[in-house]
Amino acid sequence: MTTGPSARLTWHQGSVLPYSSLWHTVQRAMSLNALRPKELAFCGRGADQAGIPRHVNLLYNEAVDGLCGARVEALSMRSLAQALGEQEAVFAWAHLGRLPRSVRSLIAPGIRVCRTCMARGYHSALYSLRLLQTCPIHGCELDDRCNCGELFADDQVVLHHMNAGYCRCGRMAYFTGQTCRRPTMRHDETAPMSVVATWLERLAGVIRPSPGDHQAQRAHDRILLDSVGAWCAELNLGNPGSAITRDPQPLRVSISVARLSTIECANAVRPATHSRQGAASTRGKHSLYWAGDDATTTYRSLARHIRRHVARGAEAHAIDFMLNPDPLQMGARMLRSANPANGVREPC
């Protein structure tokens, strides 16, 4: 057990199992040390800013910065590792903040649990992947309901709304006194979770158009969910540890896939790991029109390609596509414009 002035928290070193969720680990730390959310010492904000944001989503480890509205890292994994006396590497995929927002429709909004895992002191954020219906370790059906029968609310993953160790109704305990100190599950028993983590690594490199309108976004996400098998096959993602069920609504059109260069990929995938100060400085570097997100990076690249290799002024197509990313309308628009009179070259 770690105690003393060099370590801030009482903790059993080595008790963080592979792919343990940040949501579960933070509750264990709070319960063992009788801490309230505002007393957590591993906040990710600047040293000159006391406390942590009121709305911290532990499923993604994100909070909304009040100054610029950007999503920033809420809890520092490095500070958490130091506070618990653990290696930072043990928190790989402890949360899903690395996933681009354009593919987060594949993630359930709240927690899901394997009751067998939870009885042995283990929980993973990977259980929230909608494509998983059963626990990769035990084969049990993943549950999204409390003992009282109610669905786990979305705010169950919000730090300030948590009752550490229990569901808000008090009828379901997330761990016992023993499993809070040290889970009874062995490290090697979590090996099946590595297949899911590897699949998520591939998913983290996928970028999809993101409509600005909320209703259009929901419809856009519905297409992905209903045709996820076709998407995974086209992108060579494979299966997340279990077979993907047949698409309820197979795609009626083909999928267009564009591979970004290494530089563009590095710029496109922006997990929420920057600090509040970083978000404020980034805002000054980008115009308000070109938002600094993964989808916009793709469209800026498209606009640059059209401007350099097709015709000047034709990058308006890319801007229109960014505002209304409907593949069918994109194709119709390009067919109407594919003639020399409009300054766009005929397709070869």
Q: What is the pLDDT of residue 61?
A: 92
Q: Are residues 50 and 69 in the same domain?
A: yes
Q: How many domains does the chain have?
A: 2
142 within some domain: yes
Q: What is the pLDDT of residue 4?
A: 42
Q: Are residues 79 and 169 in the same domain?
A: yes
Q: Are residues 182 and 225 in the same domain?
A: no
Q: Are residues 190 and 212 in the same domain?
A: no
pTM: 0.73
Which residues pair with residue 173 across a beta bridge? 166
pLDDT by residue (tens digit) across 258-296? 565 544 455 444 444 444 444 444 444 444 455 666 667
Is residue 224 a contact partner of residue 235, using CB atoms and an 8 Å limit?
A: no
Mean pLDDT for 248-266 is 56
Which residues pair with residue 43 across a beta bridge? 75
Nearest Cα to Cα of residue 30 among 5, 61, 8: 8
pLDDT by residue (tens digit) across 199-244? 999 998 887 776 666 777 777 788 778 888 888 888 888 888 777 7
Q: Are residues 42 and 185 in the same domain?
A: yes
Domain boundary among 167, 196, 225: 196
Which residues pair with residue 166 across a beta bridge? 163, 173
Query: What is the domain range of residue 307?
Result: 206-342
pLDDT by residue (tens digit) across 295-326? 677 777 777 877 787 766 666 766 676 666 66
- Name every residue whose Cβ is closer than 8 Å to that of residue 157 and which is 6 or more positions away in sequence: 23, 57, 58, 59, 110, 111
Q: What is the pLDDT of residue 154?
A: 74
316 within some domain: yes
Q: What is the pLDDT of residue 225?
A: 81
Handedness of CA 43, 45, 46, 49 (dihedral sign): negative
6 within some domain: no
Q: Are residues 186 and 224 in the same domain?
A: no
